[in-house]
């Protein structure tokens, strides 16, 4: 399986994507559309486009793995009634749909699976 960073670099190049961060949101912009993905925190300065995409895919993967809003809140320890959390949850879903339109649902699914596999390998390695 190819390295996720390499795959993301190819995706950026092939699709002529621009990746930027605006506050907690990672924006993936193509020639005709864009997808904004809330990541839950402001990333440190100096991240590469690939690192920003990994942040966005991580948020998407967690969102996708949760059954619903309450499950997502439990995953992060958020109170469900906290201001802005439902909007953030919905924004991830909208961003996911926009990203699927931008690069293809199958491609997003493949990238999320590659992220999950990489995380599982990291967790399985002895420390």
Supply the pLDDT for residue 1. 47
pLDDT above 70 as % of the chain: 98
| pTM, 2 dp | 0.90
18-76: pLDDT as tens digits: 999 999 999 999 998 999 999 988 888 899 999 999 999 999 999 999 999 999 999 98
Q: Is the pLDDT of residue 3 over 60?
A: yes
In order, the DSSP letters of 52-118 are HHHHHHHHHHHHHHSSSHHHHHHHHT--TTSTTHHHHHHHHHHHHHHHHHHH-HHHHHHHHHHHHHH
How would residue 2 be classed by pLDDT, with cut points 50, 70 and 90? Answer: low
- Find, among 55, 48, 52, 20, the residue nearest to 34 by Cα: 20
Supply the pLDDT for residue 125. 78
- The ranges assigned to domains in the chain are 4-124
- What rounded mean pLDDT belongs to the chain? 92
């Amino acid at each position: 399986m190819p390295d996720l960073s390499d795959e993301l670099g190819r995706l950026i190049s092939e699709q002529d994507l621009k990746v930027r961060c605006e506050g907690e949101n990672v924006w993936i912009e193509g020639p005709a559309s864009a997808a904004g993905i809330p990541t839950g925190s402001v990333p440190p300065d100096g991240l590469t486009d690939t690192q920003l995409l990994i942040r966005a895919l991580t948020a998407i993967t967690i969102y996708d793995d949760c059954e619903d809003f309450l499950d997502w809140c439990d995953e992060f320890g958020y109170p469900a009634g906290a201001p802005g959390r439902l909007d953030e949850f919905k924004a991830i879903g909208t961003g996911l749909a926009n990203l699927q339109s931008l690069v293809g649902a199958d491609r997003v699914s493949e990238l999320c699976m590659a992220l999950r596999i990489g995380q599982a390998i990291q967790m399985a390695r002895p420390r």
